Structure 1
Amino acid sequence: MSRNKKEIKRMVLAYEALYIMESNLKDHAMKTLCEYYGKDWTIKTKEIRGIERLTYYEIIDLYVKHPPLINCFTRFYIMKFYELSEVRNKIAHVKPITKEEYSLLKECSEEVINQLN
């Protein structure tokens, strides 16, 4: 099955937006948790793995359960980030996303950039 150019362009842009969003979330969480808890934040917080080994869902969980990260995003956007999980998995597994899913990704990505930069 041949992919049309619009679908290909949307997927390329989606991967870029996802990469920027996840990278910003990870970098910000790592910096903030290290400043708050120290370099051994994974031990002090009882997190099993370091930030680079966390799944997308686990990264969002950090922003829900750790005091220095809790107020970074509104509850509204945290719920949108969780909703984005399914879209994120489609992108990561090279499955086409809809225009609506791309819009959700763009909204979430822009919120991350606006709040953390």
Structure 2
Amino acid sequence: METLMVILVGILISIGTYLILSKQLLRIVLGASIVGHAVNLLLITSGGLKTGSAPLLGEKVANFTDAIPQALILTAIVINFAVTALVLVLCYRAYQSFGTDDMEQLRGNELE
């Protein structure tokens, strides 16, 4: 299962990199979001698939599941959502101000 997840992470990273290297702002934002999701999958995969009970203090269990990777992923998802929303608003404002979402035109490098 971990091998399949690592292959999926590689595919998502390559798709995200392709979109980040695009010229349109919306594709760049979506590419960054996809890379963020791929990193989340990588973190959850590195945590490993462990079977066991919940880590409760009163229980006498020898085998338990670590909750830290899930907590990190949940925090990363919330932060990724907030950053994506902020950047989408900034892209919309730039489109309203300049009338384009092409990065070459926004940089001032007019294409002939």
Flag whether TM exceeds 0.5 (same fold).
no
**TM-score relative to the length of structure 2:** 0.30
Higher helix residue share: 1
**Larger relative contact order, structure 1 or 2 (CA cutoff 8 Å, min sep 6):** 1
**TM-score relative to the length of structure 1:** 0.29
Rg (Cα) greater in structure: 2
